[in-house]
Structure 1
Amino acid sequence: MSHPKTLPCTKPPSLSFSTSSPLSDFCMELFFPCLLVAFVSFTFISLQILFYKRQVTSKPNLPPGRVGWPIIIGESLEFLSAGWRGYPEKFVFDRMVKYSPECFKTSILGYLTAFLCGPAGNKFLFTNENKLVTVWWPEPVNKVFPTSLQTDSNEEAKKMRRLLPQFFKPEALQTYIAIMDTVFQKQFGSWWEGKDEIHVFSLAKQHTFFLACRLFLSVEEPDHVARFAGPFHLLGAGIVSIPIDFPGTPFNKAVKAAKVIRKELMVFIKQRKHDLAMKKATPTQDILSHMLNVVDEDGKHLSDLDVADKILGLLIAGQDTLTAAMTFIVKYLAELPHIYDIVHKEQVEIGKSKAPGELLNWEDIQKMKQSWNVACEVMRLSPPLQGAFRQAITDFMYAGFSIPKGWKWSANSTHRDPECFPDPEKFDPTRFEGKGPAPYTFVPFGGGPRMCPGKEYARLVLLVFMYNAVTRFRWEKVLPHEQIIVNPTPMPAKGLPIRLIPHAKSNKED
């Protein structure tokens, strides 16, 4: 029997380097910077741990709860993943059961946060604006909007509220209705009619963005709008995200998208300033003209970059939330034929009262009561935003718990609370008849001094959209069990594809 040969034992090649080797010199050059980075990182982490420990132990009687790992992440992943699974309220409800139905603490996006729960939490939040709390935006917002760093995001928000009232007051809004109807008629003719299937979410983004460009900037040419329409979905998702500026992260994509959009806006601003000087545009024709003519307390005009950032903020506010509301109105009307019939009947009656070619007006909007109740029930079950964050500007007590100055906090959603809305999962627009829900329970637009100034604008957009949709089509979902995700606004995972059934065809089949 032969034996296998024994292979000679060989030593692995030596990794020792000569002091004169270029590789050795390179490694030595890297060694000390790496050591310095490791030391700084260790020191930073240690200080963060000490800071967090001091924050959560130095104050007596803090709300119950946990802050998770104290370096940046906290419970952010649990908070965000609840949204990704389509049930953002679960993060709050689980902790209300585990810790307290009134208030609990956590850490989100690197900030110690107290959630105030239920209608009492909403009331406290809305009635103590600028007394105990003030508006607060996550760090990504300040970095995406660089002019806000000149003061702070709270001051910028106050400036915006001084600029907007004349454009969102009832007299101004009434003049928008015919424009909205004209824009929607063109869009439905181009994007819906003649199609067997459409993806609602992507079209809703185009609807809201093109409409905002028309009303805020007087821009109607599709090519002009399309140049910077694309980056907006990246911007909305990245603003409320963990502020990690690495390539590929949502925050990094948001920063890049904002730069692209801002560059295009600066082109519009330059052209508008020229048109104003040449009397080709008027100072009151839209928000852009108004911002270019307004002066601050020192008699100075806003800088072009400041105007661009404020217009950018308006476009974001007017797009993502309205896109979500529009999309979910279509979703629920597809799932609930009896609700669709209520909306269709009301809108057809309004259509019959119009002369051929006559556009919608203020009186027509006032007749759309049942349609608005349906839209409100949609926003109850699928709110476009899951609350608004504030920052404590002083130490205070709430429900027997101590809330330290500087903590961020938010009231939770009451929309699916059975104590506020019996049988909360049932779609029931009659909840909004008469006096409607109890105060501080239905809050899709916030409340108090910080109530969304665009609430009435949103109502008009949604109702004009519903009129144009239901008077043309019925529809059915292509994916009956499509998943819903929240990032940061709710959206169907596949964009809500629907099959369109024009009314002429529907009537023949009936």
Structure 2
Amino acid sequence: MASVFVLYSLILAITIFLITLTLIRFQTSKSSEKEARKKLPPGKIGWPIIGETLEYISYPQKFIQERMSKHSKEIFKTSVAGGKMAVLCGPLGNKFLFSNETNKLVTPWWPSSVSKHLIFPSCKSSSLSSSSSSSSSLDNDHSFLKLEAMQQYVHPLSKEFTFALACRLFINYENPDQVKELAKPFFDVAKGIMSAPLNIPGTPFNGAVKGGAAIKEKLLNIIKHRKEELHGDHNKEVHDLLSRLLVKSDENGKFLGEKEIANKIIGYLLASFYTTSTTITFVLSHLADHPYVYDKVFEEQLEIAKSKKVGELLNWGDIQKMKYTWNVVCESMRMAPPAQAAFKEVTTELTYAGFTIPKGWKVSWSVHSTYKDPKYFSNPEKFDPSRFEGNGPPPYTFVPFGGGPRMCVGKEYARVEILAFVHNVVTRFRLKKANPHEKIVYTPEPIPTEGLRMCLQPLEI
């Protein structure tokens, strides 16, 4: 009897799947007939639902460059993370997207793993973009972001460091156990951001869905508890972002709701560790690979260290002196981009490079359309920090923080965090990789398969 029930359930599940697939194809064919009358970008959409997501996340650089070569160096179509998408290529494509949010042709877009399952709906500021260009004084107040041997696994440790620092600054979380409890679901969400939208147990998307639910519940509890603390002590000093959002009203005297605040905190926490930890990982990797670069960084950092009194911390003036080190960071971000692209949704049908992009389509710019192009970066596979001396690369060719009105407002925060980390490492240790031939995989951000095990030789200065 049980086997008959299992067989019946299996047949029913397969039938439902086939009916769903047929309906999707029918809807797709209807929309394709309408779109066929327009000159759409060249390319292909791929499979129903998953599109070309799996190909994209497995090797984003190859994905972009192959399609540019096959279809067009200016624009091509695809389907990634559940939406038809036009990818605009080259510096002109970057400039077009950076400059067209102000006239409302496009608006920020997140994959459904984030937009549906991580943020709270029906909020005035439901976007996770920490660089929102809203006119609200609350949305524009980003002043808190401008901050004036043995073996270790660099990649997981850098993630823990950057997330713990963000927790301390944004929500005043310092207890290691509390940070770990909040970190795990954030890491699960990060893994599933660009995954195929298949909510099946064991998939990255399913992990992101569960992680998003856990984060929302945890943050609401934190916000309610902090609210009670501030209500009971009106003279309590306000230092972290969460407290600022709770006590500060906008120009009309209105305060943000708890879910609106949670959305903002989620956006900042996600953005603050996701790409910065990857950058730190590969900066150290490149320093280990290129001893002559390490020597120049060490010389610059040693001069700063010797100018400090015993126990004196780095300040904004010290960060400004780290010019060569920042060039190394930029070259590392070019060679191993921590963020592969950014996505937007078309709000009004538009034309680009002679092709029509319908309303509702997603559009994207990608670092891989310029970073390895010898037209903009000679001998692009060579690690060469001198590229960023003087005026640096041509405009819109190197865009690790985006551009236009939605350029990442956390740029200076990330800069301070990365440079302070590098300063404390190179003035204390000489670096050597435990496995110089360690492979890199993409998810789609680059990840060392062994966590980047590093031998650290202590220095005396």
- So what's the TM-score if we normalise by structure 1? 0.83
Which stretch shows the higher mean deviation, 156-165 or 205-214? 156-165
- In structure 2, list runs of 5 or more residues that go unmatched: none
Specify the alignment match of 1:181 in structure 2.
none
Alignment partner for residue 81 of structure 1, among 43, 58, 62?
Answer: 58
Alignment of 1:85-164 (within 5 A): 88-131=60-103, 132-148=105-121, 150=123, 154=127, 158=132, 162=136, 163=138
Distance in 2, Cα, partners of 1:31 & 1:487: 32
Aligned pair 1:64/2:20, yes or no? Answer: no
Aligned to 1:187: none
Q: CA deviation at 1:332?
A: 0.2
CA contact (8 A) 2:300 2:322 kept: yes
Cross-structure match for 2:166: 212
The range that moved more, 195-204 or 273-282, is 273-282
Superposed counterparts of 1:355-434, under 5 Å: 355-413=309-367, 414-434=370-390
Given that 1:134 and 1:154 are in contact with CA atoms closer than 8 Å, whether structure 2 keeps it comes out as no
Amino acid at match of 1:44: L
User: 1:54 corresponds to which letter in structure 2?
Assistant: E
Q: Which one is further off, 397-406 or 463-472?
A: 397-406
TM-superposed deviation, 1:302: 2.8
Counterpart contact for 1:282–1:289, Cα < 8 Å: no
Query: CA RMSD for the aligned pairs?
Result: 2.8
**How far apart, in 2, do the equivalents of 1:251 and 1:231 lie?**
12
Q: Which moved more, 1:477-486 or 1:439-448?
A: 477-486
Letter of the structure 2 residue corresponding to residue 463 of structure 1: L
Q: Which residue of 2 aligns with 1:234?
A: 188
SS in 1 for 2:431: strand
**Structure 1 residue 23 displacement after superposition:** 7.7
Report the Cα offset of residue 488 of structure 1.
Answer: 3.2
What letter matches 1:272 in structure 2?
Answer: R
- CA deviations on 1:39-65 (whole Å, 9 max, x unpaired) are 742542332332452354131x22211
Count of equivalent residues: 456
Q: Residues 351 and 24 (structure 1 numbering): CA distance in 2 closer, same or farther, change over 3 Å?
A: closer
Kept in 1, the 8 Å contact 2:114–2:189? The answer is no
For structure 1, the residue ranges without an aligned partner over 5 or more in a row are: 1-21, 83-87, 175-194
Q: Quick one: which amino acid aligns to residue 43 of structure 2?
A: G
Aligned counterparts of 2:217 and 2:169: Cα–Cα separation in 1: 20
Equivalent pair of 2:94/2:365 in contact (CA under 8 Å): yes
| Superposed displacement of residue 25, structure 1 | 9.9
Which one-letter code corresponds to 1:328 in the other structure?
F
CA displacement at 1:221 relative to structure 2: 2.1
Matched, 1:482 2:438: yes
Q: Is the 8 A contact 2:144 2:241 kept in 1?
A: no
1:485 is paired with a residue whose SS is strand
Residue 145 of structure 1: how far off its partner (Å): 2.3
Other-structure match for 2:403? 447
Query: What is the percentage of aligned positions where both structures have the same residue?
Result: 48
Q: State whether residues 57 and 194 of structure 2, in contact with CA within 8 Å, keep that contact through their aligned partners in structure 1.
A: no
Q: CA deviation at 1:149?
A: 5.0
In the alignment, which residue of structure 2 is the partner of 1:459?
A: 415
User: In structure 1, what is the equivalent of residue 23 of structure 2?
Assistant: 44
Distance 1:219 1:64 in 2: 49
AA of the residue aligned to 2:212:
A
From the superposition, tell whether residues 36 and 343 of structure 1 become closer, same or farther in structure 2 (CA, over 3 Å).
Answer: closer
Q: Of the candidates 40, 45, 54, which is equivalent to residue 33 of structure 2?
A: 54
User: Are the equivalent residues in 1 in contact too, given 2:278–2:446 (CA < 8 A)?
Assistant: yes
The answer for the alignment partner of 1:503 in structure 2 is: 459
Deviation at 1:460, TM superposition (A): 0.5
Q: Is the 8 A contact 1:167 1:287 kept in 2?
A: no
Shift of 1:387: 1.3
Which is higher, the Rg of structure 1 or of structure 2?
1
Pair 347,37 (structure 1): closer, same or farther in 2 beyond 3 Å: same
Shift of 1:260: 2.6
2:447 match: secondary structure: strand
Corresponding residue for residue 11 of structure 1: none
2:296 corresponds to which letter in structure 1?
I
Alpha-carbon distance in 2 for matches of 1:222, 1:145 = 23
- Could you tell me how far 1:479 is from its partner in structure 2? 1.1
> Do the aligned partners of residues 503 and 42 (structure 1) sit closer, same or farther apart at CA in structure 2, a change above 3 Å counting?
closer
Which is further off, 205-214 or 302-311?
A: 302-311
Deviates more, 1:295-304 or 1:258-267: 295-304
The structure-2 alpha-carbon separation of the partners of 1:28 and 1:312, relative to structure 1 and needing over 3 Å to count, comes to: closer
For residue 255 of structure 1, report the CA deviation from its aligned partner: 1.7
Q: Contact 1:292–1:302 at 8 Å: present in 2 too?
A: yes
SS of the residue corresponding to residue 479 of structure 1 reads: coil
Compute the displacement of 1:258 (Å).
Answer: 2.4
- After superposition, the Cα gap between the structure-2 partners of 1:23 and 1:471, relative to the gap in structure 1 and judged at 3 Å, is closer
Letter of the 2:331 partner, please give it.
Answer: E
Specify the SS of the correspondent of 1:388.
strand
Give how far 1:118 is off.
0.8
Distance in 2 separating the partners of 1:35 and 1:252: 21
Distance (whole Å) between structure 1 residues aligned to residue 83 and residue 169 of structure 2: 37
Paired with 1:480 and 1:248, the residues of 2 have a C-alpha distance of 32
Q: How far 1:120 moved relative to its partner?
A: 0.9
Seen in structure 2, the aligned counterparts of structure 1 residues 152 and 291 have a Cα distance that, compared at 3 Å, is closer
CA contact (8 A) 2:68 2:76 kept: yes
Assess if the C-alpha contact under 8 Å between 2:127 and 2:263 holds in 1: no
CA distance in 2 between partners of 1:239 and 1:252 (Å): 10
Partner of 1:85: none
Check whether the contact 2:41–2:355 (CA below 8 A) recurs between aligned residues. yes
On the 8 A contact 1:142/1:149 being kept in 2, the answer is no
Mapped partners of 1:310, 1:263: distance in 2 = 15
What one-letter code is carried by the residue in structure 2 that aligns with 1:107? Answer: S
2:150 maps to 196
Q: Secondary structure at the match of 1:230?
A: helix
Contact 1:477 1:498 in 2 (8 A): yes
Describe the shift of the 1:281–1:380 C-alpha distance in structure 2 as closer, same or farther (beyond 3 A). Answer: farther
